[in-house]
């Protein structure tokens, strides 16, 4: 979240349910001088409406990616970009990638993800 803010994305908001990780995130933001500039909220990502988000960054386990992909497809606008760290979305084709190994990230433009998904659905037999 801090890095997103440094790159000019605002508002920069993170969601976390684990109180220890929430405290750690707030502490690190404060220590880096970004207290009040970024936010970490104790909210369930599955219950947050993401329809007004244009930049989403996720660091989640591979098992969570398929249900998250469905949520993002349903809620994000076409102009949104999703960046996944550590693990890609298995059914999406990235627009770009950066890094290697544990430092690799995958970027997905929602308009392209939807176009590819629609093309696949049209080409599949019923």
- pLDDT for position 123: 66
Quick: pLDDT tens for 21-35: 999 999 999 999 999
Tell whether omega for the bond before 109 is within 30 degrees of 0, i.e. cis: no
Pairwise CA distance, residues 98 & 3, whole Å: 15
Quick: pLDDT tens for 43-82: 999 999 999 999 999 988 999 999 999 999 999 999 999 9
Q: Return the ∠ at Cα 40 (arms to 34 and 43), rounded to 5°.
A: 175
**Average pLDDT of every residue of the chain:** 91
CA atoms within 13 A on the CB side of 18: 4
pTM of the model: 0.84
Q: Please name each of the domains of the chain with its CATH number.
A: 1-43 (no CATH), 51-121 (3.40.50.150)
- pLDDT for position 117: 83
- Which residues fall within 8 angstroms of residue 52, CB to CB, at 6 or more apart? none
Pairwise CA distance, residues 57 & 88, whole Å: 12
């Amino acid at each position: 979240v801090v890095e997103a803010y440094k790159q000019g994305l605002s508002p920069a908001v993170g969601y976390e349910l684990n109180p220890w990780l929430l405290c750690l995130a707030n502490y690190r933001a404060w220590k880096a001088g970004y207290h009040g500039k970024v936010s970490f909220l104790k909210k369930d990502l599955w219950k947050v409406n993401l329809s007004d988000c244009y930049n989403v960054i996720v660091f989640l386990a591979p098992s969570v990616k398929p249900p998250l992909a469905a949520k993002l497809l349903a809620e994000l606008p076409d102009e949104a970009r999703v960046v996944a760290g550590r693990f890609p979305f298995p059914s999406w084709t990235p627009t770009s990638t950066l890094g290697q190994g544990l430092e690799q990230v995958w970027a997905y433009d929602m308009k392209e993800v939807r176009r590819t998904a629609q093309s696949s659905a049209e080409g599949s037999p019923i």
